[in-house]
Amino acid sequence: MQSISHKNLSWIFIEEPKAEDISFIQGEFQLHPLIIGKLTIPIYRPQYSEHEGYFFAVFHFPIFNKDGGFHEIGEVDILVNNKFVVTVCSHENSPLDFFFNQCQKNIEASRKYFEKGPFYLLFIIIAQILHSYYPFLDRLAQETERIETDLFNERENRTLKSITLLQRDILDVRRVIKPQLPVFRSIFAKEEVSRNDFLRIYAQDIVATNIQIWNTLENYWETVNALHRTNNTLISYKLNKIINILTAFSISFLPATLLASFMGMNVIIPHPFDDYRVILTFMLFLMSSTAIFALILIKRKS
């Protein structure tokens, strides 16, 4: 547990809470047992609830790999009253980790986040969570451009795997971002925010950012699905060409196979075909002619 304080407001930052951390929070907030339980177990959807003297909110954020790919969903639980803003992160390297460390390194610069009260500090924290989505959106732009390039350079097999992974990542992030909007609106509807013009502008900006991220994800979702359909069309086209070629060869050799089967029968061959060399020459000529004729016919019909 770490903290930053200025005047009468403190930001308590907790990662992977331990028993002593929960005891401290319980002593300051007089938490309901249900809230204590939510701090110690994963919550899979955003939540907001008001209690006597404080409110409790749950947000989620994507955790990415070093290459910018989606890894898993992280959770941050937030408790706010007049004296404290407590953030409880379920994972290390959360979006708030870097921001909190920067505030600790430069206390003087970070005091501006505390001077306008707990709601302004809360809005700054929420903004940091939303800003963590931007590297993922940048990666989506790069990946869709690369997939489009590969798609028309006849790399369908590699493209198919890339599209599938990208669809999975977009779905996972969409599952996080959309349900948070009602929670934001519940917080911003509080009287402390609605009657403060300065805070109301920040609240509107956060809602607009959340909607913008969602719309961007929707746009990339449609783009990736369009690329997926195009990729399937190109694969089907190539597969049809291969099947047509194999079919043409199979059909072209059917007459030759029929003749070879007939001549292989135990029959008496009349003169002048009793010489096997004449028979062999005649058969080769006949089979070649029928094969070439069948190929020409198939080519004209295709």
Tell me the per-residue pLDDT of 273-292, one tens digit each, with 9 for 90 and over: 555 566 667 666 766 776 67
Token pair in block for residue 208? 């607009």
Query: What sign does the CA torsion over 188, 189, 195, 201 have?
Result: positive
Q: Could you count the other beta carbons within 10 Å of the beta carbon of residue 224?
A: 21
Beta bridge partners of 11: 4, 85
97 CB-near residues (< 8 Å, 6+ apart): 15, 89
252-275 average pLDDT score: 60
- Tell me: pLDDT of 118 over 80: yes
pLDDT for 84:
83
pLDDT for 162:
83
DSSP 16: S
- Tell me: pLDDT of 68 over 80: no
Distance, CA of 84 to CA of 29 (rounded, Å): 9
- Tell me: pLDDT of 234 over 60: yes
pLDDT for 282:
66
For each of the domains in the chain, give its residue range(s) and CATH number, in order of start.
2-237 (3.30.460.20), 253-301 (no CATH)
100-117 average pLDDT score: 82
196-201 average pLDDT score: 86
Give the least confident one: 60-64, 117-121, 220-224, 255-259.
255-259
Q: Which residue has the higher pLDDT, 281 or 62?
A: 62
- Tell me: pLDDT of 184 over 80: yes
278 CB-near residues (< 8 Å, 6+ apart): 272
pLDDT for 98:
83
pLDDT for 280:
61
